[in-house]
Amino acid sequence: MVLRHSHCVSNHRSRQSSNGPPASKSNCDIALKKCTIRMPCGMALHDYRISCKQELYGLTKSCSEHCQLAIVSLATTAEGFEYLYCDCADNEYCKLIRRRTQSCDPRVKNNASHRKPCKNAEVFCKANDICNEAYEHYKYICKDAIRGIECSKRCNNSISILWRQKAGMDLRNCSCEKQDISCMKESENIMKLCYGLNDY
């Protein structure tokens, strides 16, 4: 059974990247239609609905790894990002789905007790040849985003590739040490420019 609903994961602010969706939030019905008619977004949306079925039906309060990866894939398309973070307005069902998928919101996962230190996550990733290659590629492609300039489509894609790695999953929500200013700025800039999370 395929869910047909108009909703978004969370009520985030608009994406800041020049390669992202429009500055104002889209109505969820319009955002859904735009996503379904674009092949990359439509395929990612189909995978999202299958991978996040338990979350969307409210059968679990946690967010599975499969669902997290599906959301990352969907968010790396401009139409998918717009759909995930669209405006529910007065649509109560949309708001219900948003509450059900709250555990998949990166801001909710921002609890330090559930996060691995970023240095440890980096070491773990670099110990794996494939993850290390994805990490080095991310560092090179996303240098402008890391510096707080802009997040390109290529950067978004490299982030998606990195987070898809089993050894790189912890890099998504790792915790920077308080004295590690560069780590905190990198995390803040990536979440702000690539995912519109200004209050991450």
Q: What is the mean pLDDT of each run of 10 residues along the chain (200 residues)?
A: 47 41 64 91 93 92 85 83 84 87 66 73 92 95 95 89 84 86 92 73
The alpha-helical segments, DSSP class H, found in 106-180 are 118-126, 129-141, 143-146, 153-164
- The DSSP symbol for 62 reads S
Q: Where are the domains of the chain?
A: 28-104, 112-195
Whole-model pTM over 0.75: no
Residue-level pLDDT at 72: 81
Residue-level pLDDT at 106: 59
Phi/psi of residue 156, each to 5°? -60, -40
Rounded to whole angstroms, what are the CA distances from 174 to 117, 123, 200? 5, 12, 12
Residue-level pLDDT at 114: 59
Cβ(142)–Cβ(158) below 8 Å:
yes
Cβ(152)–Cβ(145) below 8 Å:
yes
